[in-house]
Structure formats: C-alpha cells, structure tokens
Amino acid sequence: MKVTRRDFAAGLAVGITAPYLISNARAQAATIKIGMCAPVTGPAAESGGYAIKGAKLALEAVNKAGGILGKQAELIIEDDQTTNPGIVLAFSKLAAQSDIVAFLGSIRSTQVHAMAPDVLKLGKPVMIGGTDPNLTHMGNQWLFRFRPNDSYSGRVIADYGVNTLGKKKWAVLHSTDAFGTAGGKALTSALEKLGAPPVLDQGYANQSQDFTPVVLAIKQSGADILGSYFTFENDLGIFARQLRQLGVNIPWVGSPSIVNITALKLAGPALYGTYGVADYAEDSSEGSKAFGKAYRDVVKVAPDNQSSWPYDAVTVLAAAINKAGSIDPTKIREAILAIKKFPGAEGEYNFDQNGDGLHGYNIVKNDKGNIVFDKHIEFND
C-alpha cells in the first residue's frame, strides 16, 4: 500500500491529538478527587478511623445528592502515621496528584503546622480540624478550619468554671505540643481577663507513662478547679485514673478530648462528673442530631468530634465547589469564605476572612459515662 503525503499528515495529526483527546475524555468522565491525610497507624489510629468514616459518610451523601459539579466525588486517603514527618510525606504524595482539587488535613495542630508550608506552596484549599488559633492567623490563606479554635475553647472553659461553677483557683494542665501549648495559653489568658489567674500552669510531654508528679503538683497548688488540654486519650486516661486514686476530686473542665469515645472507654469512672467543651454535641442542634443518627446507623458507635469535623469539611467543600462552579483553587477559596449560616454537624458555619468557620463551643457533662449537653456559648468576634 502506498502512503500518500496526505495520509501521512492525517495519520500524524491523529497520532498527536489522540492521547490528548483520550485523556481529555477520561478527565471529563473522571471523579472529583479529595485528598485526606488521616492517622491510619500510630497513637491516633483509632480516632483516625472515625475521621475517615465521617468523611466517607459525607461523601456518600454528596454523591447521592448529585455529586460535585455533576461528577461523583472520591476520597483519596494517605496515612499520616500520627506524626509530623508522616503527614508531610502523606500530603506530598497527595499533592503530587494534580487532579486532587482540595484536601482534608489533621485534627492535630502540630501536624497542621508541619504541613502548612507545603500547603502554601501548593496553593489549594485544605480543610483542617486543628484548633491552635495561630493556624488561621499566620498568613496561610489555604487553611480552612472546621472546628472552633482554642481562643474560644479557652474562653468557654474559663467562663464556665468562673461564672457557672464559681471557682477561681485554677490549675491549668496542657500538653507541650502546639495544640496543648496554644490551648493552655488561651485558657490562662481568659482566666486572667476574668480576674482568676491560674495558681498552677503545668505542661507535660505526650505519651507520658506516669502523672504522679503532676497530680501531686495540682494537690499542692491548692487549686479548686482543673482546666486541661490533652492531646492523646491514653495520656488522659492514665492521668484521670491517677488523679482520682491520689484523692483529687476537684471539678475538671477539659478540652474536647475529655469527651471523646476512646477517652471515655479508657478512663471509665475516673471521668464521671467532669465537664468538657465539645465542638460536637449530639443534642446541640438539628444538624448535629441528623449527623449523629446517620453515623450511628452506619458505624454503630456514638459519634464524636473526630468524625463530625471531616463530615462537615466534605459537605461544606462540596457545597462551595458547586457554588463556585469551578475547581479553580481561588474560586473554591472565595466560595468557602462566602459560606454563612450553613448548618453542619458541629454547628452553624459562618466563615470569617481568616478561614475560621465556627465561633463557639458547647459545654457538656460526663454523667456516669453519658455525655449530656449543657449549653452552647457563641462569640461574635
């Protein structure tokens, strides 16, 4: 067969354009991908499992409702190993996939700090659950928070302890990681403003095996109330048991970890009667109730903030992309920041220009192992 110049030119044109057309067609048919860094292994692997289940539950609902921009959404999960190097590696793996439009980061502030420079470099939206106030105040426009930050939790803990429980001699106990340090500072600052500076401000290193020196320090300080910021549930469990064993029975208002499922299981009766600030409380709103029911039906365990914030992150992100009508990162960012009065599992989302979606906390009480909603305190600043 003789190949003419015209045949050759046509063949060449098809050869050059075919891969593009095929990949374009594939792209048209492809899903919208959302990356998620989650602790599949490491000390937070259990809560990581809850986070993944929460995100998947939201994804199912989004897909049932028509998906994102008319396509089905897909979650790509990478294990962050509950470590800072782990999340940097996990995020870099996800960031290398150019078709991922947005990401879910960590609930741990220290991990978000570790990945933040890479987030800034990549320039795509990352939903986070870390509550260190600095995370959304350090010039990184791509971080969007789906839990109230610790400036609010500190104020709520202080307000509840001083004004509702009437206690003024505070012992403040916090982890020395980014989350704990920021939380401890926020609580101390709020207490100072209320005229009740803490009599003890005590840090501890994560994964401590013994809290006897800490408990004795609390005992000796003469504190009549304890405020705490624990990062890991096993630390909280060990501390709670030793606190009670060594006869310290003062009221205790803790950060959200005090009411999460793992902590309740590990510490058991040692946490009875304690109070916690909880971004997620099942009875706090209609959105919270709806999420709680859906989660219980599927996962068969009680929901907590580990699962509620990724649920909200996926739901809000999908709504924002649909509203933006585009996967352009800047347009998604603008759409997220424009979200107001959006009912979520964690509460009503009103994003400010820093990327904070929530501005208040619930106070709950551990009533013999049952977490009972007390009240919600919202701030306008």
Cβ proximity to other proteins: between 208 and 326 the closer is 208
Q: Token pair for residue 83?
A: 């470590």
Cβ proximity to other proteins: between 48 and 310 the closer is 48
Residue span binding other proteins (CB under 8 A) among the ranges 8-16, 159-167, 242-250, 279-287: 242-250
Task: Pick the binder of other proteins from 66, 123, 268, 369 (CB under 8 A).
Answer: 268
Task: Pick the binder of other proteins from 29, 247, 286, 381 (CB under 8 A).
Answer: 247
Question: What is the distance, to the nearest Å, from the Cα of residue 44 to the centroid of all Cα atoms in its chain?
Answer: 13
12 counts as binding other proteins under rule CB under 8 A: no
85 counts as binding other proteins under rule CB under 8 A: no
CA-CA distances (angstroms) from residue 276 to 215, 263, 302, 366, 372?
Answer: 19, 12, 16, 8, 10
Residue span binding other proteins (CB under 8 A) among the ranges 37-45, 142-150, 304-312, 366-374: 37-45
Q: Token pair for residue 312?
A: 């909200």
Question: What is the distance, to the nearest Å, from the Cα of residue 33 to the centroid of all Cα atoms in its chain?
Answer: 20
Q: What is the Cα–Cα distance from 220 to 319, expressed in whole angstroms?
A: 52
Please report the DSSP string for 89-145 in residue order: HHHHHHHT-TTEEEEE--S-HHHHHHHHHHHHHHT--EEE----GGGGSSS-TTEEE
Task: Pick the binder of other proteins from 246, 290, 298, 338 (CB under 8 A).
Answer: 246
238 counts as binding other proteins under rule CB under 8 A: yes
Task: Pick the binder of other proteins from 61, 89, 199, 217 (CB under 8 A).
Answer: 217
Q: How far is the CB of 224 from other proteins (least distance, A)?
A: 20
Q: How far is the CB of 180 from other proteins (least distance, A)?
A: 10
303 counts as binding other proteins under rule CB under 8 A: no
Q: Which residue from 66, 65, 73 is spatially nearest to 35, judged by alpha carbons? A: 73
41 counts as binding other proteins under rule CB under 8 A: yes
Q: How many CB atoms lie within 10 A of CB 31?
A: 15
Angle at 202 between CA 197 and CA 205, to 5 degrees: 150
Using CB under 8 A, list all residues that contact other proteins: 40-43, 45-46, 48-49, 176, 202-205, 207-210, 212-214, 216-217, 220, 233-234, 237-238, 241, 245-247, 262, 265-266, 268
